[in-house]
Structure formats: structure tokens, C-alpha cells
Chain A
Amino acid sequence: MIMMTNRQWLMTGAVVVLLLMLPLFLPNFWLANILGRAMVYGIVALSLTFLAHYGGFISLAQTMMAGVAGYAVAMMAPTAIPLGPLAMSYGYAIPLAVLAATLTGALVGLIAVNTREIYLLMITLALAVGFSLFAQSNTQWFRGYEGIRNIVGPEVFGMPFRTHLVFYYVALITAVLMYLLVLYVVRTPFGLALQAVRDSARRTSAIGFSVALHRIGAFALAGFIAGCGGVLITFYNIGITPSSIGLWPTVAVLIMAVIGGLGHPLGAFLGALIYAVMDTFASSIIGHDRFNTLIGLVFLTIVLISPDGVWGIGKRLAGLGGGKEPITDPVAKLTAGGK
């Protein structure tokens, strides 16, 4: 299990402070379209990393869970074009959308409760593609191909959500909170039991845990995380369309998580950042068609040289340069006083 030592907490703090100060140095484009974007997609990738690393579940349904939140907030948004019958203030729409994604996560977990590995991959892929096709064909609620537009998000301190600074800071704060949430939960009985299921489902039930309920709970939490990302992505794109939750975006989340490294929640954000940078710059240089080939090659290269992604490379480099990890008190690690 991942433990943060004092040094790591210090480094995390330093990185967060740096990120908070970046608007002083960086142009708006970088803030919103590279970093902000990396953070909101990174949250969806984090939801996959959480399931994969701690539960051993590789799911392709994360984009779908995010999409449920995206469509839900769009249907309820007061600014939506066309305006739906459910229109309400963002103050209600956002939490309801995240709730919808959480319930969707639980439902996916329930449907896939007895499947593993390649079968889990196939079932979640089928659900993801099925949902996107449904959104495409449903004109009444999902507005078909066109999707729902003008989802600009709430005003924050009187400023429009899409202001670069506002978007950047909200994305940053949400990303950090989700990251810390994952690191915290995996040290609670619920999160430890999830890792127990990963290591031995038989033993987990032999000591009294319902493996099925824990799997469903893990997917619900993953749905919650993906839902937070999905709402922000919808604000980022100022709306949602079926193609934004289709096959390619579904696979893209897996690619981000793997490139960054499934071995640590941080990998999700690293992967999303690399993806955003390549998507932005490589696309304009080599053309968007070739971008898929390029990202495919990067994916292959990373998987071949470092199965635990960029995070794994970083860890090995740090291991070469840095000293040994300090020995931590096992009890402190388990209890609230621990770091």
C-alpha cells in the first residue's frame, strides 16, 4: 500500500503551492487548455487508477460514468441550449449530477460483480459504447448527435466559470481533493478491504467481508470521482455530445492512466498531462489523424520500457538518487495520527 512519508507530504505541498502560483507565470492558454484540461481528465483517469491499483479492476466504464454526470448536469443546467424541463440552479444540478455518476458506478459494479480481467474489460466496454450510442439516438433527453450546448457552469465569486483563472483553480482544487481522497480512503477499513479483494478474494470473504458489496462500493466511489471530473469536463467543453463519450475518449482514459502509471494515483495526472500536451502540439504539427498513431506508439514504448508508466520511471530515478525510505511506524500508518 502506498504510504506518504513526511518528505513526500512536503513535496506534495510544494507542488501544490507551485501549481497555485503558476497563474503568475503562465499564459492563459497553458493554464486552462493544457493544465486545467489535464487535471479534469486526470480526475477521470484517477478513477480508473483507483480501481486498477487498489482493486485490481481494469474498467473501461470511467468515461461513461463521467458522461452520465456530464449529461445530467447538462440536462439540469439553467443555461442549457436547448433548455430542458429539469432546468435548475447549478447549486443543485452539480451535486445531483455527481450523485447520478456515483449510482451509475454502483450499477456498473453490480452488473460486473462476478467478472474479472478480460471479461470485466469487455463488459465495461460494452456498457460504455452502449451508453454513448444511446445518447446519440435519444433526441428527447440527450438531444442526439448535437448534444447539449452552452453548459458554462456557475459563476464563482461573480466571475464566469470559464474565466481561465476560475477554471484553473477549480480544476486544481478538485483534482487535489480527489487525489487526497483516494490516498485517505485506501487506508480506511473500506479501502484496505478493497486491496484485500485484489490480493485474495477468498481470504477476504473468509474473514467476514462481502466481496460483492465491496466491489460495488469501489465502483460507486470510482463513479463519484469520475462524476466530479465529468462535470468539469462538460464545463470545459461548454457542453456535451455523444462523440465526447464514445469509443475513443473511453480508450483515451485508459491510455492516460497507463502512460502515467497505474501504480500510483499521481500517474493519472501525469498521463493526462502528457496526453494533453501531445494532443495540443502534436496534432497541430503532424495532423490529427496521425496523432492517434503517435499516442499509440508512445503508449507502446512506455508499456515496453516501463510497465508502471512515467510514474514508475520517476520512482526508479528517485530510487537511484535518493536515500532509503525512512522506516515508518506501522501503527501510526494505520491510525489517524499517521502521515
Chain B
Amino acid sequence: MTSNSALPTDTDALVLTGVGRRFGALAAVSNVNMTIKQGERRAVLGPNGAGKTTLFNTICGDFPPTSGRIHLFGQDISRLKPHQRARLGIGRTYQTSLLFTGLSVLENLYLAVRGARKGRFSMLKAGPGDADVAYARALADRVRVTQLLSAQVDAISHGQRRQVEIGMALAGNPKLLMLDEPAAGLSAAERPELVALIRSLPRDLTLVLIEHDMDVALSNSDIVTVMKDGVVVVENTPDLIADDPVVQSIYLGGGH
């Protein structure tokens, strides 16, 4: 275990009880029970189609669960709309970047900052020296896209979009951050930057990380959950997970 191995607190950040999600006849996720402590780093592993992204979608509300309950810091959020969940402190990234391609990088980040506070309908432009704009710039620094502030998002590279994704997820100062394969498509040179960024997250932030890269996943988590065919198959600490026979059968079987 690594530098961020300080123990999570006793507060439950996220509790899933019997969570399932069906798409027609397909049970993409079934009966998932999971308790994530505040400040915990949780990695979710599993082959493609295991239901990892769908699990994120049930939590953030894009595709709410068709069964089961979700509690965020004790509050039942199962029936809330995505924007209401976001305002309660959930920030997420998407496996395939979902950015505002017609807007600049700065505008993307600025909107993510504004979305987290009142005045979302403001018809007044930000004034000079506006604190939200300044914060958006600071986020750009943090995810290393400062040189791209004025670039329209559909003109920047894949790796840069992944950075903006993370910047937007961080903009609302979330209590729960969910990263969906943040390293996917990044070059070998870009990966250490991503890991450094993950390690620099505040310790009381709760992180759920979907990651195919075993090294990134295992070295950045307190507990690892392995999913397959929509169900949780193993949940354990990173040092024990690699030797787990079930995990070995999934990964050596070439499941991903």
C-alpha cells in the first residue's frame, strides 16, 4: 500500500443495498451491496461488460437503479435526479469523454464550477477578477491544461480531454469522486501524471476508481471490488486481491 493508505474514517460515504439495474431483459447490475467509508479509495475491477460503468450510472443517477437503495452520507438518494445528486457532492468522469465540445476548455471548467453553486440561471456575465473564473483557471492548472484555456474542446486531443474530464469532476469540490477508466487511452508518459493527480486528492475525499490498469488500480486503493456479469465476485485489500483464485481466473482467462 502506498502513501495514501491512511485509514478511512468511520463515516459511511456511500452505501449500496441490493442495487440492480436492468436494461430490458439484460441485468447489467444485480444485487450489489457495498459500503464505502469516507476517505476510502475504492477500485472497481472487472472485464468489459461486467457492469462497472452501469454501477456508476446508478450512483450518479444517469440510469437510476431498478432495484435496491443508495445512501450518500446517510441520505437516501435512490430517487433523486442526477443534478440533485451532483449538488449533494457527487462528481464523476465518463469512460468516453462527455464534454461541451462547442465551448472552450475554460468555459467547460467555469460551468462545472457554476453548476455547484446557486445562480445557475444568472444572466450576468462574470466580472473582471471573478472568483469562479479564477477557480476554473486553478483547476486547469491542476489538470495541466492551462495552455489550452481558449481552445474549443473539439479541437483538443484525447488525452487532454481526459484531463478536462477530471477537472470538471473536481470543480464542485465533491465529497465522492468517481473516475471511470481515467487512464484509458493515455500514453505511458501521461499515466504517472494521472497517478500523481489521484494521490494529490484531499484525504477526506472518497474515491471510487474504475481502472483496467492493474498497477494503477492496486497501488491507489484501500479496497478492491471485482465485478463480473453484473455481480460483485470478490472484495478485498489490494495485496490479497492479486492472488485471489477468482480474480486470476477472470484475468488470466483474458476476460478483458
Contact = CB atoms under 8 A, between A and B. Distances in A.
A211 B61 CA distance: 14
B82 interface: yes
Among A198, A211, A217, A330, find the residue whose CB has the most chain B CB atoms closer than 10 A. Answer: A330
Interface in B108-141: 110-112, 114-116, 119-130, 133, 137
A333 interface: yes
Contact of A189 (B61, B100, B101, B122): B122
B94 interface: yes
B83 A208 contact: yes
B119 to A, nearest CB: 7
A210 B83 contact: yes
A-side interface size class: 35 or more
B86 A207 contact: yes
Given A188-B123, A209-B120, A217-B121, A200 B110 contact: no
Interface in B55-107: 60-62, 81-83, 86-87, 91-92, 94, 98-107
A290 interface: no
B96 to A, nearest CB: 11
A203 B126 contact: no
Interface in A306-339: 327-331, 333-337
B125 A207 contact: no
Interface string B169-204: 001100000000000000000000000000000000
Given A207-B86, A335-B125, A335-B133, A330 B120 contact: no
Contacts of A328: 150
Contacts of A191: 123
Interface residues of B, number: 46
Nearest to B152: A1
A210 B81 contact: yes
Given A207-B116, A331-B137, A202 B82 contact: yes
Main secondary structure of the interface of A (DSSP, over half): helix
A205 interface: yes
B14 interface: no
A334 B133 contact: yes
Nearest to B151: A330
Contacts of A337: 127-128
B56 to A, nearest CB: 10
B168 interface: yes
Q: Is the interface of B mostly helix, strand, loop or mixed?
A: loop
Nearest to A213: B121
B149 interface: yes
Interface in A185-232: 185, 187-193, 195-196, 198-200, 202-211, 213-214, 217
A184 interface: yes
A200 B99 contact: yes
Contacts of A190: 120-123
Nearest to B87: A208
Nearest to B88: A208
Contact of B82 (A196, A206, A217, A327): A206
B107 A202 contact: no
Nearest to A331: B133
Given A205-B81, A208-B87, A335-B128, A1 B122 contact: no
Given A207-B86, A207-B168, A195 B103 contact: yes
Contact of B126 (A207, A208, A336): A336
B74 to A, nearest CB: 21
B119 A335 contact: no
Given A202-B82, A334-B126, 20 more contacts: A1-B103, A1-B107, A188-B123, A192-B111, A193-B114, A195-B102, A195-B103, A202-B62, A205-B81, A206-B60, A207-B111, A208-B87, A210-B120, A214-B120, A217-B121, A328-B150, A330-B105, A330-B149, A334-B107, A336-B128
Interface of A: 1, 184-185, 187-193, 195-196, 198-200, 202-211, 213-214, 217, 327-331, 333-337
27 contacts: A1-B103, A188-B123, A188-B125, A189-B111, A189-B126, A190-B122, A192-B110, A192-B114, A193-B114, A196-B111, A205-B82, A206-B60, A206-B82, A207-B86, A207-B115, A207-B116, A208-B115, A208-B116, A210-B81, A331-B149, A333-B104, A334-B110, A334-B125, A335-B127, A335-B130, A335-B133, A337-B128
